Structure 1
Amino acid sequence: MSFAGVSLVGDGEAVGHAINVSAASGYHLLVVNRYSHIKATTPNGGKVVSLPFTVGGHRWRISCYPNGDRSDCADSVSLYFRLDENAVEGLKVQYGFSFIDELEKQDSTYIRAKEADNFSSSHPSWGYRNFMKRDALEKSKHLKDDCFTIRCDVAIATTVDLHIKVPPSSIKQHISDLFLSEEGTDVTFMVSGQKFAAHRCVLAARSVVFKAELLGSMKEGTVASVIDVEDMEAKVFRPCLTLFTPTRCPRWR
C-alpha cells in the first residue's frame, strides 16, 4: 500500500499533507487531536473531515462522526469513506478502517479479501455507522493523550479478463502420430505371422473387451507382451485395430 498522506483535525479545518497516489491501492491517516473538545463541540450528525487525497486516480475523503451520524447511533463513533468527485460509472472499491496500531488489519491481503463496494455519484459514501462505541474507545489503548489515529486502506478493484480462447483439441492427431510411430508400444499382436504393435492403455480406453483382456489380466501379472490372434488374416486385423484408435490413419486395403 502506498502512503497517501495524513490529515490532522482538532479545531477547525483539517491540516496536513495529502499525496496523490496513482497506484490502485494506498492508505491515508486521519489524526483526531483534542478528541474531548471535538466530542463536546460536535453534535450528533456532525463530522470532521480529512483533506482530499487521491488513490487510483480518484479523489477521496474520510468523515468521522464523534457522536454518531444518526440518532440511533449517538453512542458510537461513525466512520465513512467518501468519493469526492463526480463519477457516472460506479467504482468497485475495497477499503478498511483500522486504528494505527492494528497492524493485522492493514495487510494488503486482508483488504483485498473484503467485498468491494460500488462508489458512484448517486452513492458516493460507504462506511460504518457503529464503528466503535464511544465509551469503549475512551477506555481503549487507541486513545492516547486525547488523540487517536485512523488508517484508511483503499484498493481499487480491477477486473481481469479470464476468458482464454482454447484452441481445438489435437489429441486425435497426437494419438494417430503415436500409433503410426509405434513409440512406447507395450503389447504386440501376432496375426498370420505379422506383428502389430499397439498401446495397451489406448485400446483399453476404447474397448471394454480389450480392457478386460489387457488390464484385467495385468492385475494378476499374467498378461503376455505378445498375443496370438488366430483365425484372422493380417489385412483384416489392421483396419480393425485402427477402429479402436482415434486416429486419422489412411484407409488400409
Structure 2
Amino acid sequence: MSFAGVSLISDGKAIGHAIDVSTASGYHLLVVNGYSHIKATTPNGKGIFSLPFMVGGHRWRIKYYPNGDCLMRANSVSIYVFLDENVTEALKVWFEVSFVDELEMQDPTYIRRREPINFSSSTLVWGQMDFMETDTLENCFTIRCDLAIATTTDLLIKVPPSSLQQHISDLLSSKEGTDVTFKVGSEVFVAHRCILVAQSAIFKAELFGPMKEGKMASVIQIEDMEPKVFRSLLSFIYTDSLPKMEIDMVEEEGKAQEALWLQHLLAAADRYDLRRLKALC
C-alpha cells in the first residue's frame, strides 16, 4: 500500500499533509490528538472530516465521529470512508479501518478477503458505525484507512478454493509414496509417516523418536484394535474430519452400532492423542 498522507485531528479540525497516490491502493492516517477534549466539545452526531486525499485517481475523505453518528451509538466512535466526488460508474473498493498497530488487518490479502464494496454517486459513503467504544480509547491514537480499488484484472481473477485437504486424502486412497505398513488383525494398511506424525505426537514418538527402533523397515503390529476402527482413524488423520461409519455397522442395529463404533473410535483417538477426533466423537 502506498502512503496517502496524514490528517491530524485537533480542536475539531484536520491539519496535515495529503499525498496523491496514482496507484490503485493506498492508505491515509488519521491521528487523533487530545481525544478527551475533542469528545467533550463535539456533540453526538457531529463528524470531523480528514483532509482530502487521492487514491487510484479518485478523491477520498475519512469522517470521524468522536461520540458516534447517532444517539444509538453515543458510546462509540463511528468511522466512515467518503468518496469525495461524483463518478459516472460505480467503483468496487476494498477498504479496512484499523488502529495503526493492528498490522494483520493492513495486509493486502486480509483486506481483500471479502467482496469489494460499491461506491457510486448514489452511495458515496461506507464505514463502521461502532468502530470502538469511547471509554476504551486513549487520549491519543492513530487510525489507518486502507483503500484498494478493484481493477478489471482483480474482478476477473477468481481464486479457487483450497484443495489441499482433498489432495492429502487422495494420498491415502492411492497409496502413492507410502513408507510405513501396519497390520491390524488380519488386515494390512499402508500410510505416510510424515502425515501421521504431523497429526499425532504418539505416532511421532513411535516412528521418529526413541521408540522407532525395529519399526523403520518392519510391519508394525497394532494390538487391541479392530481393522475398521484403525481404518477410520487413518481416514481422520488424512482428512481432519469425522469418517463415515462402514455400511455393515449400521444396517441391522442402527444407533446402538453407531454408539459402539464411536466408543471404539474415541478410545483409538485417546490412544494416539488426537484431540480433535476425541471432541468430534
TM-score surpassing 0.5?
Answer: yes
Query: How many residue pairs end up in the alignment?
Result: 156
Residue 126 of structure 2 is matched in structure 1 by 126
Q: Which AA in structure 2 matches 1:8?
A: L
Q: 2:148 aligns with which of 152, 155, 158?
A: 155
Secondary structure (helix, strand or coil) at the match of 2:152 reads coil
Shift of 1:11: 1.1
CA distance in 1 between counterparts of 2:88 and 2:37 reads: 39
Shift of 1:121: 1.4
After superposition, the C-alpha distances for 1:166-187 in whole angstroms (9 at most, x for unaligned) are xxxxxxxxxxxxxxxxxxxxxx
After superposition, the C-alpha distances for 1:177-210 in whole angstroms (9 at most, x for unaligned) are xxxxxxxxxxxxxxxxxxxxxxxxxxxxxxxxxx
1:97-136 equivalent positions in 2, closer than 5 A: 97-136=97-136
CA distance in 1 between counterparts of 2:12 and 2:65 reads: 14
After superposition, the C-alpha distances for 1:100-154 in whole angstroms (9 at most, x for unaligned) are 11111111111121321111111100001111111223xxxxx2xx211000000
CA distance in 2 between counterparts of 1:96 and 1:9 reads: 20
Residue 23 of structure 1 is matched in structure 2 by 23
Residue 2 of structure 1 is matched in structure 2 by 2
Whether the 8 Å CA contact 1:100–1:150 is kept in 2: the answer is yes
Residue 64 of structure 2 is matched in structure 1 by 64
Shift of 1:34: 1.1
After superposition, the C-alpha distances for 1:37-91 in whole angstroms (9 at most, x for unaligned) are 1100111111111000000000000011011001111111000000001113111
Whether the 8 Å CA contact 2:12–2:38 is kept in 1: the answer is no
Residue 200 of structure 1 is matched in structure 2 by none
Shift of 1:12: 4.0
* TM-score, normalised with respect to structure 2: 0.54
Secondary structure (helix, strand or coil) at the match of 1:14 reads strand
Whether the 8 Å CA contact 1:95–1:114 is kept in 2: the answer is no
Question: Are 1:90 and 2:90 counterparts?
Answer: yes
Shift of 1:13: 2.7
> Relative to 1, partners in 2 of residues 1:135 and 1:91: Cα closer, same or farther, differing over 3 Å?
same
Shift of 1:162: 5.0
CA distance in 2 between counterparts of 1:117 and 1:63 reads: 17
1:1-253 equivalent positions in 2, closer than 5 A: 1-137=1-137, 143=138, 146-160=139-153, 162=156
Q: Which AA in structure 1 matches 2:149?
A: I
CA distance in 1 between counterparts of 2:27 and 2:18 reads: 11
Larger Rg: 1
Structure 2: runs of 5+ lacking an equivalent: 158-281
Higher relative contact order at CA 8 Å, sep ≥6: structure 1 or structure 2?
A: 1
CA distance in 2 between counterparts of 1:44 and 1:11 reads: 16
Shift of 1:31: 0.4
- Divergent runs of 4+, >4 A: none
CA distance in 2 between counterparts of 1:88 and 1:159 reads: 16
* TM-score, normalised with respect to structure 1: 0.59
CA distance in 1 between counterparts of 2:156 and 2:81 reads: 30
> Relative to 1, partners in 2 of residues 1:67 and 1:12: Cα closer, same or farther, differing over 3 Å?
closer
Secondary structure (helix, strand or coil) at the match of 2:131 reads strand
Q: Which AA in structure 2 matches 1:70?
A: C
Structure 1: runs of 5+ lacking an equivalent: 138-142, 164-253
CA distance in 2 between counterparts of 1:84 and 1:119 reads: 10
Q: Which AA in structure 2 matches 1:157?
A: A
CA distance in 1 between counterparts of 2:39 and 2:96 reads: 23
Q: Which has the higher helix share?
A: 2
After superposition, the C-alpha distances for 1:8-29 in whole angstroms (9 at most, x for unaligned) are 0111431111000000000000
